[in-house]
Structure 1
Amino acid sequence: MYDKNIEPQIIKDYSSLIYKHLHKHPIKKEFHKNIIDFPSSSTIFLLVGDTEIKSWLHNAKAKNFTLYIIPHASNPLAQKYFHLPTTFEELFTLTTKQHYFTYCNEKLLFASAIVGDKIWITNQNLFLSFLKNFYNIRLFKTNITLKFHKLISVSLLIEAGDARYIKEKRDTFFTDIQTGCKKVAAIIYAPTSVIEAFKLRYFLVKKDQKYLPKGIGTLVTDTITITTDKDLTLLCDNEEPIISKDVVIKSVPTNLQIVSGAQKCSKEGKETIRVDRLPKDEEFINFYTKRTLPFLPIAPEEAFADLFKKIKENAKISIEYTVLLLISVLMATFGLFQNSSPTIIGAMILAPLMAPVISLAMGIIRFDETLVKNSFKTVFISTLLALLLALGFTNLFPIEHMTQQMAIRTNPTLLDLGVAILAGLAAAYGYTNSKVGESLAGVAIAVALVPPLCVAGIGLGWGNLDVFYKAFLLYLANIVGIVFAAGIMFYLLGYASKRYASAALIIKLLLLASIFFPLYVATQTVLKEERIYEQIKYLKFKNVTLQLDNIQYHKNGATLFISVLSKKNLSAREKEAILQQIKKKFPAENLIISFKQML
């Protein structure tokens, strides 16, 4: 049987080759679907395209024919499906085999059927595919019925077909599964975020992966029935797409003996269901089917349960927490007065204040009122206790001497906020990942909460509100930076409230803005002081050294306290010359200059 569009000379050549191998003259007929004319046990040669082959095989599947499919440019799918050689003569080196056909909604399938959006399978340009579908990715509710199982999930698309064909095409997903030749297989793609969709799309190209990623499920069985809650595109063998809500993929036995290069069917294979990486939670299914795919992943409740339990416990004050807090505050205060870095570092590691701050970040991003109240209460009481303890210690030991370790914590800048933000990211990630949990001690050292709080208490004990304000500003900057960054990390990791994520982010941005402006002013002050120090440093006088003792700020500007140190007594003329040079350098500042002779 041949296609009428094929040249007569080609038909004649093939007829000669058939006679050469079978020693019988073939009866040449134009292709038609009626197979009643052919007696049982006929040997039939098909020289037609894929569409005609499908229709003829469907009608002839119950007949005991021996069938040769002649390779031709019009039947590439049949060549691949039956593993045919490239030349006609090689057909006669192959053996006949009984085949099982794969059907999709009663249509013979040579390749695969795709339910959903085909672009994620067929588009080879990953980047363009991602960009074009960035805002339009939407999952659909999927009810899948197998022989002995039922599954409800969501899908971006489902690719199904003959088990051996699907395994050969997507071998990454079936490395440890025997598909058999009497089964159909399906791959369910169900990313839960745009980022995950991109990762899955990239995964299709990576041939060296040996595991199922999140959002992928595989099925191997006799019949797969897919029912969806809305009209979807069904694409069978890249033919014209149709719209359907119900798709049935099944394997059907035939009586045909087809000459092919496929391996002989010796194993039926077992039904295999691997759907543990698919979202099956009812709340998640409802959430994902009512909106476009979120850009970032959202953690399921079961993944959140253990972390949330830990976060809730950390939000409350306990005896153990209070004891550690008091010890760390006292240790930090001792270290500040002693100017001892090791003692202060020990207090940083011991201090438990980071835990309720992280809980506060989670409470805001989850819009959990109880968690926010408990964690805020713990942070507030901890702050009050630390201030009172440091103040009391300062009054018991009235040493009014600003050590270097104290001074470090009275110059807050935007750099400190940056460190706090990085520490907050690391702390939140450590809470969600047990593998890096041991690094939290380093986070506590990087962004110390207790030492600046103790310096603020010391400032109160001295009655020095400037020291109190600057140290407490640093403490607040650390708190806000950690809360902001930890919330962002929880959001990126999928722990944000699905309903209130945007509102929570706005709250965190407002918190950040509230601390940003006073820190900006403080940073400008520090930069101004640095410029003054540099200017004094470059004022050169013979046998004289200038020393900036202090800077006091007031409404009308700043007052500089400068000492002029010399090895000999300066004359009035020399003093006046030095004084004029300093005034010329700082015309806008009030100057209090004292002349001192060095021994």
Structure 2
Amino acid sequence: MNSLQKILLIHHHIKPRQLHAVQESAQQYGIELEPLLLNDFLLNPKKQLNGRHHLVSLLESADLSLLLNQAHRYHFSIGLLPAHKSSIVCRLFNIPTQIEKALPLAISPNKAIDLDLLLCNDEAVLLSVMVGYVPFFNFRQQYYERQSLLRRLIHLIKNAASLTRLKPFDLSIATEKRDQIKTAVTGVLIIENDIEAFAANLINESISSQDNKLSAMLVAPCSTVDYLFFLLDCFYYKNRTAGRLPKAVSYIKTRELTLSTSKKLDYWIDGRPCKAETLFFKCIPDSIKIIVGEQFKFVHDTHEAEKETLKINNLPQNEVRLQRLRKKVPFFSVAQEDDFKDLFLMLKENAQLSGPFLVLMVLSSMLATFGLFLNSAPVVIGAMILAPLMAPIVSLSMAILRNDRKLFNNAIWVFLIGLIAAIAVSALTTLILPYEKITEEIHARLQPSLLDLGVAIVSGMAAAYAHAKENILKSLPGVAIAVALVPPLCVIGIGLAWHDWVIVSGAGLLFLTNFAGIAMTGALTFLFLGFSTVIRINWGLGFSLLLIALVSIPLYDSLMTDINHGRITSAVGSQTYMVNGKTIQLDGVRVISAGDTICLSAVLGSSENISAEDVEALRIDIEKLLDQPVKIEVTLKIISSAYNHP
């Protein structure tokens, strides 16, 4: 009988039953596996090897990296067996998850291939090294992608609290071919084999264990919100092909990398905690031999990248930004002076009273007044586009946010001049025109509701965003159409000319709604875009909040009234009634009032003569339908079913 070939089996306290099963399986292939604890092997690797150049590993990833150091030093190859079915080692090297299937491969040293070895301060790295704190960054992408959307969201929410631990630190970076770069980051992730990590998913570069390079991702978010957007990008855009990295991330691909700070850094090698002031990373090409699965060879291309890759434009190197990051990571991004210099110049210009502003206000007010009397929506829309009143309100938003008294005073002055001009022009135009009829366009601006406040809020956001982004400023006319500042002012002027205080109060409420919504949400949008580090508590901000709260009360009441009127109209209108043997069609139902007694206006259509008794019977039927007292004003319409010719 031939003697069995002996191969070392390195393990870390595997259960005896599992160990015995592995040994029995190996004997079927003429192999005797000699079990040896990892710690015992590390005490004297040369003695334990005893001239052998191949061994089998039954280790998890954290322990396997310790074995890689010795493989590089003593030049032996490694066959891999899964410590359990969900072992990361299986996914890293594409080996079977069942020991019975992985064993024939693991005991075949001739199938081992050369792989790069990443060293961090002379310690081998199997997966990755995390420096500092980078929430979610090294989470396993393959595991995550198998989860349902609900589980992904739950995972995100559970870990959201960890974002408060984002702490930037000064860092000096040097590569093999580049001198030191001084910056500040919240964390760094160096990847070698772990190409399934979310971090690897964001790089528009090929990462391989056979490219003679290490890959480093440096995270430097401008704010917590910036980091949240990065996470969403990382989690849900699984097949990133864009050449541009997220704003929070920079990327370096090199053979050697040095990270240094003035004090000791916390870092983790494959999950093992360590501390050091300087970290030196070196990728040693083709320095270890490992038996891998066939799929591994397709995923990890064998190629050598000749040049370093440095995508570091996102790294903070400006001294002002570095000073801010040294304090803390703000919740919202903080725009730098270069970012908002042009914006402030534009906002200051918008807050200056000028001839063109007055001319446009007069013309737009006249146009809006004509459109309201003509009941022409296109003419009113033209006036909305022409009116320049949005500009000083956006300047006012920035002044409120930054507590800029000079900008505030200038903006409010221009705004009041525009407001008075619009009301005066519309009132004078109304006195000249021989019209005293409330058209649909006028009536539409007399009963604002919370929906109008919603329009104002969204319009304020859009206006501030359009001003901040010069390339989309051309979209501002669309915002002006949406919020319609001038038409309600013109309706106020019409009401003053007619001495109708119901019209004045209704249109005034709509204008206050639009003004408060734009000013407040415009300020919050500028805050979100980073044009102020904090919300400064001031009377302007307080007044805007108070104004929104006050107008919300009648707006809510108006919304409930509209909903109630809609319910009544839907229940009563567009139906056919049988009254006193006559068929009556009820159209054009409108609720005049809906207090204790509901007052309705409607058109009655019938092919028969309708008497007062018929109308009263119809009113009683509607009362029964609504279970509430009803008054009804009707207009009769005779429907002829045939025509008699002489």
TM bucket normalised to smaller: 0.7 to 0.9
For 1:91, give the aligned amino acid: P
Match of 2:388 among 343, 352, 368: 352
Closer, same or farther: CA 407–251 of 1 in aligned 2, 3 Å: closer
Q: Are residues 14 and 259 of structure 1, via their aligned partners in 2, closer, same or farther at CA, if it must alter by over 3 Å? A: farther
> What does residue 416 of structure 1 align with?
452
Instruction: Give the conservation status (yes or no) of the 8 Å contact 2:77–2:112.
Output: no
Match of 1:386 in 2: 422
Specify the alignment match of 1:23 in structure 2: none
Match of 1:47 in 2: 55
Map 1:50-199 to 2 at 5 A: 50=64, 53-57=67-71, 60=73, 67-73=75-81, 87=105, 90-92=108-110, 101-117=117-133, 119-122=136-139, 124-125=143-144, 126-137=152-163, 138-147=166-175, 148-162=178-192, 165=193, 170=200, 172-175=202-205, 181-191=211-221, 192-193=223-224, 194-199=227-232
Tell me the equivalent position of 2:498: 462
Which residue number in structure 2 is paired with residue 335 of structure 1? 371
- Name the CA shift for 1:469/1:174 in 2 (closer, same or farther; >3 Å): closer
Cα RMSD after superposing both structures: 5.6
Per-residue deviation at 1:512? 1.2
Q: Alpha carbons of 1:374 and 1:415: their partners in 2 closer, same or farther (altered >3 Å)? A: same
Question: Match for residue 21 of structure 1?
Answer: none
The one-character-per-residue Cα deviations of 1:454-481 (angstroms, maximum 9, x if unpaired) are: 1211222233333222222222212122
Q: Which residue of 2 aligns with 1:310?
A: 346
Question: Does 2:246 align with 1:213?
Answer: yes
SS at match of 2:514: helix
Does structure 1 conserve the Cα–Cα contact (< 8 Å) formed by 2:261 and 2:278? yes
Match of 1:273 among 310, 314, 317: 310
AA aligned to 2:55 is L
Assess if the C-alpha contact under 8 Å between 1:166 and 1:185 holds in 2. no
**What is the aligned partner in structure 1 of residue 37 from structure 2?**
none
Q: Provide the C-alpha distance between the structure 2 equivalents of 1:327 and 1:285, rounded to a whole number of angstroms.
A: 50
Distance in 2 of aligned mates of 1:425 and 1:143: 37
Paired with 1:301 and 1:393, the residues of 2 have a C-alpha distance of 46
User: For 1:138-187, what per-residue CA distance to the aligned partner results, in whole angstroms no more than 9, with x for missing partners?
Assistant: 1322413214233344434311155xx46786265152799985443311
Unaligned residue ranges in structure 1 (runs of 5+) = 19-28, 566-570, 594-599
Contact 2:204-2:240 within 8 A present in 1 as well? no
1:496 offset after TM fit, Å? 4.7
Give the one of 476, 489, 499 matched to 2:534.
499
Partner residue, 1:22: none
Q: Deviation digits for residues 78-132 of structure 1, max 9, x if unmatched?
A: 996899996256432567x6x8643212323333211133653135554344223
Q: TM-score, normalised by structure 2?
A: 0.68
Spell out, residue by residue over 1:430-476, the C-alpha distance to the aligned partner (whole angstroms, 9 max, x if none). Answer: 44456655443333233221111112112222333332222222222
Alignment of 1:472-487 (within 5 A): 472-487=508-523
| 1:248 equivalent in structure 2 | 280
Instruction: Measure how far apart 1:531 and its partner are.
Output: 9.8
3-state secondary structure, aligned to 2:406: helix
Cα distance in 2 between the residues matched to 1:290 and 1:319: 47
Structure 2 counterpart SS, 1:453: helix
CA deviations 1:485-505 (Å, max 9, x no partner) are 33344444x235212278787
Measured at CA, do residues 51 and 398 of structure 1 come closer, stay the same or move farther in structure 2, by a change above 3 Å? closer
The one-letter code of the counterpart of 2:309 is T
Paired letter, 1:69 = S
Aligned residue pairs total 556
Cα offset for 1:281?
A: 4.3
Distance 1:129 1:230 in 2: 33
3-state SS of paired residue (2:397):
helix
Contact kept? 1:3, 1:30, Cα under 8 Å: no
Correspondence for 2:256 among 223, 226, 250? 223
Residue by residue over 1:256-280, the C-alpha shift from the partner in whole angstroms, topping out at 9 and shown as x without a partner, is 9755678999746222211123444
* 1:205-241 Cα distance to aligned partner (Å, 9 max, x none): 4455554222111112343222356655321133x31
Whole-angstrom distance in 1 between the partners of 2:557 and 2:90: 75
Could you say what secondary structure the match of 1:220 adopts? strand
Work out whether residues 304 and 495 of structure 1, in 8 Å CA contact, stay in contact via their aligned partners in 2.
no
2:147 maps to which residue? none
Please say if residues 82 and 90 of structure 2, whose CA atoms lie closer than 8 Å, have aligned partners that are also in contact.
Answer: no
Provide the rounded CA distance (Å) in 2 between the counterparts of 1:3 and 1:381: 90
For residues 68 and 569 of structure 2, what CA distance do their matches in structure 1 show?
Answer: 88
> In the alignment, residue 195 of structure 1 is paired with which amino acid?
L
Partner of 1:322: 358
Looking at structure 2, the residues matched to 520 and 185 of structure 1 have their Cα atoms a distance apart, in angstroms, of 57
C-alpha deviation, 1:529, in angstroms: 8.5
Q: Percent of aligned positions with the same letter in both sequences?
A: 27
State the partner residue of 1:364: 400
Distance 1:517 1:102 in 2: 65
Q: CA deviation at 1:327?
A: 0.8
Could you give the per-residue CA deviations for residues 522-577 of structure 1, whole angstroms, max 9, x where no partner exists? 5577789999999999999999x9x999999xxxx99x9999x9xxxxx9x99xx9
How far off its partner does 1:353 sit? 1.1
Cα displacement string for residues 290-311 of structure 1 (whole angstroms, at most 9, x for unaligned residues):
44662x5555554444444433
Aligned residue number for residue 98 of structure 2: none
In structure 2, the partner of 1:596 is none
Normalised to the residue count of structure 1, the TM-score between the two structures is 0.72
Q: 1:130 to 1:297 in 2, by over 3 A?
A: farther
Tell me the SS of whatever aligns to 1:196: helix
TM-superposed deviation, 1:346 = 1.6
User: What's the CA shift string for 1:301-359, capped at 9, x where partnerless?
Assistant: 54444444433332332222222111111111222333333322221221111222222
Distance 1:467 1:366 in 2: 36
Corresponding residue of 1:237: 270
Q: Which moved more, 1:377-386 or 1:336-345?
A: 336-345
Q: Which residue of the partner structure matches residue 60 of structure 2?
A: none
- Output the CA distance in 1 between the equivalents of 2:301 and 2:380: 76
Distance 1:257 1:481, change over 3 A: closer
Q: Report which stretch shifted further, 466-475 or 378-387.
A: 466-475
Query: How far, CA to CA, are the matches of 1:4 and 1:526 in structure 2?
Result: 79
Q: In the TM superposition, what is the alpha-carbon distance from 1:54 to its structure 2 partner? A: 3.9
Structure 2's unaligned 5+ residue stretches are: 1-5, 12-18, 33-39, 58-63, 96-101, 145-151, 292-296, 605-610, 634-646
